[in-house]
Amino acid sequence: MTRTQEPNGWRAAAETPTLPRSAQVAVAGGGVNGLSTAFQLAKRGVRDVVLLERLRLGSGATGKSGALVRCHYANVPEATLTHESLAIFRNWDDEVGSGSPGFSPIGFVQVVAPEHEDRLRENVAAQQRIGIDTRIVDRQEMGEIDPFLHTDDLTLAAFEPGSGYADPNATLHGFARAASGLGVRIFENAPVTAILTRGGRVFGVETVMGTIETKAVVIAAGSWADRLLNPLGIDLGLEPVRTQVVLFRWPAALEGRGHRVVIDAVNHSWLRPEGANCTLIGAERSVLTADPDALDESVDASTIPTARRALAARYPIFTDAIMRGGWSGTYMRSPDGRPIIDQIPSVPGLWVMAGDSGTSFKTSPAIGVCLAEWIVDGAPRLVDLHPFRSTRFTEGSPWLDATSYGDDRALTVSR
């Protein structure tokens, strides 16, 4: 069925939906990247955009994202994407104009082991050069920034005072409402089953509801992207991966105070407040390839003590914290763990956003702008997407961050 905009939000349309026979652009995937792209296309005057979601909007990785909004990366391209996206999160009313992303700029702390001090300094300096509000803080300043933070095993950290986290579903539906208001037609329960080509280029998409002729397709299908790419002879080495997060109730001393958003490279975890009195944490060190259609959405029993230990290691006040819930989801991982954002050279008319290892929620506003610029104007202008090219693997140039703090690909990075 399709969805229509109502004053109080979205509701299922009463009538049986009818797919259009053609569209200027078809977007496969109703996550935040697909909807950001559809919105930006419509904002640039493309009035014939169709978005096709296999189940419900946000039913894939977006709806389960940790939704951290931080600029700290061990590389400039992803930091730049987040920096540009942060401006959209902060100025949502002017930039998007519908809904709210629920952005909470409570401050972000990047914790690293003392042996990675030099890398931390180098990364922060690179981020400052592109205008990111970030700085190095010592142990004393860390205690002032967050008095509950354990710092005995630290010497330096990075602090972004204006970063934080957002509500992933509110962000998604804000983009959806804005896109719908500009004429984008959004269909749920309408999975794309094939990308159709003729003469080596895109000429349509096949769905369970019918076929749409189009010369431009964006695949933003998350853990299902390879199912659309592989039949075209495109193997990007993508793997859908299951990951888990856990919720813990705040101890009484945190009531009314809370804590900062933290990525802890020492204890291999990330964490942020969730709601008014809980903390959400991801703390896995091993992840397994998974079938996204056979996902167990619950949390493994063994994951709970692992998450509690990592949380208490950085915030000792959580040593006996009460577990309040959790969930599992899947994300798509590329061979080097970095996103693939590209117009596939071998198939004119086909654009792909895939393999982000769960880190593209925060960058989705800028990714939508870049893909829309590429489709409408012939090239992305906001951010140079060359580092994200799909051909880097066949070129023998996988993306490796020289100043990373360990193997990020082993983390639960749906954040």
Dihedral angle, C-alpha 17, 22, 27, 28, nearest 10 °:
60
Give residue limits of the domains in the chain: 3-64+169-236+336-392, 104-163+239-334
Q: Supply the CATH classification number for the domain 104-163+239-334.
A: 3.30.9.10
Give residue for tokens 């005057």.
Answer: 45
411-to-126, 201, 284, 333 alpha-carbon distances in Å = 24, 37, 6, 12
In terms of C-beta density within 10 A (0-12 exposed, 13-18 middle, 19 or more buried), how is residue 275 classed?
exposed
pLDDT at 14: 34
Beta strand segments in 250-321, E: 261-264, 269-274, 278-282, 288-289
Beta strand segments in 149-258, E: 156-160, 164-165, 185-187, 192-198, 201-207, 210-213, 217-219, 239-249
Q: What is the mean pLDDT of each run of 10 residues along the chain (415 residues)?
A: 42 60 98 98 97 97 97 98 98 98 98 98 98 98 98 98 98 98 98 98 97 98 98 97 96 95 97 97 82 95 96 98 96 96 98 96 98 98 98 96 77 49
Instruction: For residue 39, give both structure tokens.
Output: 């919105």
pLDDT at 17: 74
User: What does the alpha-carbon distance between residue 302 and residue 402 come to, in Å, rounded to a whole number?
Assistant: 33
> Which helix (H) or strand (E) element contains residue 150?
none
138-to-55, 118, 177, 388 alpha-carbon distances in Å = 47, 13, 44, 34
Q: What is the DSSP string of 23-42?
A: -SEEEE--SHHHHHHHHHHH
pLDDT at 76: 98
pLDDT at 216: 98
Question: In this structure, what are the phi and psi dihedrals at residue 326, rounded to the nearest 5 degrees?
Answer: 170, 180
- Fold of the domain spanning 3-64+169-236+336-392: FAD/NAD(P)-binding domain (3.50.50)
Instruction: For residue 245, give both structure tokens.
Output: 């997060």
101-to-8, 162, 203, 278 alpha-carbon distances in Å = 16, 15, 35, 19
Checking DSSP bridges between strand 164-165 and strand 68-69, what pairing results, if any? antiparallel
The 8-class DSSP code of residue 340 comes to: E
Question: In this structure, what are the phi and psi dihedrals at residue 396, rounded to the nearest 5 degrees?
Answer: 75, 30
| Residues in Cβ contact with 316 at an 8 Å cutoff, skipping those fewer than 6 apart | 148, 150
| Residues in Cβ contact with 125 at an 8 Å cutoff, skipping those fewer than 6 apart | none
pLDDT at 16: 52
User: What does the alpha-carbon distance between residue 240 and residue 223 come to, in Å, rounded to a whole number?
Assistant: 5
pLDDT at 15: 44
Instruction: For residue 390, give both structure tokens.
Output: 């799909």
pLDDT at 25: 98
pLDDT at 411: 47
Residues in the chain: 415
Sign, CA dihedral 375-379-381-384, equals: positive
26-to-109, 228, 347, 384, 391 alpha-carbon distances in Å = 39, 13, 15, 24, 23
